[in-house]
Amino acid sequence: ENGSVAFLGLGHMGGPMALNLVRAGYRVTGFDVVPAAMEAARVQGVPVAATAVEALAGADVVLTMFPSGRHVLDAYRGNPGHPGQPGEPGLLAAAPPGTMFLDCSTINVDEAREAARLAIEAGHRSVDAPVSGGVVGAEAGTLTFMAGGDAAGFEEVLPLLEVMGRRVVHCGAHGAGQAAKICNNMILGVSMIAVSEAFVLGEKLGLTHQALFDVASAASGQCWALTTNCPVPGPVPSSPANRDYQPGFASALMAKDLNLAVNALDSTGVAGQMGALAARIYDRFAAEGGAGRDFSAIITDIRGASEP
């Protein structure tokens, strides 16, 4: 029989992920601090509770899908509240010992390790399993999960992750899932900028998009940013460039992931100049109106900044 899951964070990703667990026969109780998010999930068919602690009752797994590591650590620890306002009880203290804490949010590697340490200290188990694949993948149950934790913890959450995703990779110890995710997305951010600069340079040199694509896609410039998410319309008909850069993978999320990578570069002392520059480029693009556009729209920024 399938287990019982407290699903906390029913946003763009969490809502459809929770629904897939319900459809697969898991006993899911959802909760979100934003009533509208919770109502949207409830209408879709996800049972919900009035508080996080209520959602935890009887749960074998506490799955979190929050915006950031701050949200995860605050929820794990609880907060004392403000004068005249009740505090939130911490999830770690509210759950019976031995509960599996499965965090699928994209957060800092250091925060993921801290979350695991706190969970284990409280007598629980923990796996970090951030995802790629976006809202489309969440709805279709085709996400990729990158998991960090011990082998026993990984085995325990694997069937659950396989309901929500198509690929599940055990990347190593606690935090390794986050590490794999941000390293991958650092490659992606940097390579998208490089591909975009090359197309704009090609335009100036009188090269057609198709000619550059035909050469680079079959040569050493080949990469996902070119052959799947091509930043110019035409060569890859399914890429966001063909629909006015509707995401896809929004630039705001790329900026977020690159900043997590920069934090990791800083905390490890790695001289990652391209990653740091890519973070600045996407930060500025997101702040100047590009936030909701696919990250391949960075080419419009490069073209716009070039001499006419």
Binding positions for ligand NAD, rule: CB under 6 A: 8-14, 31-34, 37, 52, 65-67, 71, 75, 105-106, 131-132, 134-135, 253, 256
**3-class SS of residue 224:** helix
Instruction: Quote the strand ranges of the chain, DSSP E.
Output: 4-8, 27-31, 61-64, 78-79, 88-89, 100-103, 125-128, 131-132, 143-148, 165-172
Kindly state the smallest distance separating residue 253's Cβ from ligand NAD, in Å: 6
Comparing CB distances to ligand NAD, the nearer of 63 and 223 is: 63
Residues shown for the chain: 308
Point out the catalytic residue in the list 125, 181, 256, 293: 181
Kindly state the smallest distance separating residue 215's Cβ from ligand NAD, in Å: 32
Structure-token match 């057609």, residue found: 208
Comparing CB distances to ligand NAD, the nearer of 22 and 212 is: 22
Comparing CB distances to ligand NAD, the nearer of 161 and 253 is: 253
**Closest residue to ligand NAD in the complex (CB):** 11
Kindly state the smallest distance separating residue 159's Cβ from ligand NAD, in Å: 21
**3-class SS of residue 229:** coil
- Contact yes or no for 252/260 (Cβ under 8 A): no
Kindly state the smallest distance separating residue 238's Cβ from ligand NAD, in Å: 17
Comparing CB distances to ligand NAD, the nearer of 134 and 172 is: 134
Kindly state the smallest distance separating residue 112's Cβ from ligand NAD, in Å: 11
Indicate if 181 belongs to the active site: yes
Structure-token match 């009887």, residue found: 58
The residues near 3 (Cβ < 8 Å, ≥ 6 apart) are 26, 27, 60, 61, 160
- Contact yes or no for 236/199 (Cβ under 8 A): no
Comparing CB distances to ligand NAD, the nearer of 66 and 199 is: 66
Pairwise CA distance, residues 109 & 167, whole Å: 21
Active site residues: 181
